[in-house]
């Protein structure tokens, strides 16, 4: 390895480390170590499609039952982008909602939230777990509108299909958000399989 190679490797590592800071520890340990974990069957089936979406700068919407490995696969996709020296950020939709309401109640503009607009790739996890209030729905609309018009891709995970999420959000608000999330070039993936959480996260 010459000096150029090692400088490049160091830069890549910086982008991965920045991404890691936004990812919950248990996922960071599994997904952002030196080597990528082996994909499970349910994940393998969709990995080529996800990688293709990434290379085309498209959005991905991954949905399916709990524990099938959606969040893991979304973070691994983020890892690929960070490895290409692009800013990636992970955000859990329920945490985002909490932060939004806290900053609104305290009359603050949360700096953290601004990163969601500017990140070159956003992993928006568990969008259906967001507490849908007037404020959060308005914010989600602005975020999705901004990111799609700036051609900044988002990988969204959810237990609900796009149609079910529209129902959950209410047609008036849901349709404009979801149509942006899935009507710009988007790969929509239904992931199923075993509940990996039961298999791996053994509780005594």
Q: Catalog residues that contact Mg ion under the rule CB under 5 A.
A: 70-71
Smallest gap from residue 96 Cβ to ligand ATP (A): 15
Kindly list the strands in the beta sheet with 88-92, ordered across the sheet, starting from the edge strand earlier in the chain: 88-92, 121-125, 154-158, 59-63, 186-190
Nearer to Mg ion, 26 or 203 (CB): 26
User: Which residue in 32, 54, 69, 92 binds ligand ATP (CB under 6 A)?
Assistant: 69
Smallest gap from residue 103 Cβ to ligand ATP (A): 25
Taking CB under 6 A as the rule, does residue 201 contact ligand ATP?
A: yes
Nearer to ligand ATP, 40 or 83 (CB): 40
Nearer to Mg ion, 107 or 160 (CB): 160
User: Which residue in 58, 67, 104, 135 binds ligand ATP (CB under 6 A)?
Assistant: 67
Handedness of CA 145, 148, 151, 154 (dihedral sign): positive
**Residues 6 or more apart whose Cβ sits within 8 Å of residue 142:** none
Where are the alpha helices (H) located in the chain, listed in sequence order?
Answer: 3-20, 25-31, 41-55, 70-83, 93-105, 111-118, 134-149, 162-169, 171-183, 196-200
Cα–Cα distance measured from residue 57 to residue 154, given in angstroms and rounded to the nearest whole number: 9
Taking CB under 6 A as the rule, does residue 42 contact ligand ATP?
A: no
Tokens standing for residue 192? 């199923």
| Residue 89 binds: one of ligand ATP, Mg ion, none (C-beta under 5 to 8 A by kind) | none
Where are the alpha helices (H) located in 109-170, listed in sequence order?
Answer: 111-118, 134-149, 162-169
Size of the site for ligand ATP (CB under 6 A): 19
Q: Give me the residues paired with residue 187 across strands.
A: 60
Nearer to ligand ATP, 100 or 189 (CB): 189
User: Which residue in 94, 159, 161, 179 binds ligand ATP (CB under 6 A)?
Assistant: 159
Contact positions toward ligand ATP, by CB under 6 A?
Answer: 30, 37, 39-40, 43, 66-72, 126, 157, 159, 196-197, 200-201
């Amino acid at each position: 390895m010459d000096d150029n190679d090692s400088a490049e490797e160091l830069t890549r590592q910086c982008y991965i480390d920045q991404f890691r800071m936004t990812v919950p520890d248990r996922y960071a340990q599994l997904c952002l170590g030196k080597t990528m974990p082996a994909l499970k069957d349910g994940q393998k089936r969709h990995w080529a499609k996800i990688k293709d979406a990434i290379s085309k700068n498209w959005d991905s919407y991954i949905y399916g039952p709990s524990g099938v490995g959606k969040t893991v696969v979304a973070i691994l996709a983020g890892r690929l982008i960070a490895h290409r020296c692009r800013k990636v950020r992970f955000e859990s939709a329920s945490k985002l909602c909490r932060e939004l309401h806290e900053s609104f109640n305290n009359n603050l503009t949360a700096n953290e939230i601004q990163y969601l607009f500017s990140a070159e790739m956003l992993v928006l996890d568990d969008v259906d777990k967001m507490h849908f209030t007037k404020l959060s729905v308005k914010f989600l609309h602005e975020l999705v509108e901004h990111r799609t018009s700036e051609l900044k891709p988002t990988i969204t995970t959810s237990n609900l299909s796009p149609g079910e999420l529209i129902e959950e959000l209410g047609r008036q608000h849901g349709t404009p958000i979801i149509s942006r999330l899935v009507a710009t070039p988007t790969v929509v993936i239904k992931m199923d399989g075993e509940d990996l959480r039961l298999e791996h996260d053994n509780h005594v």
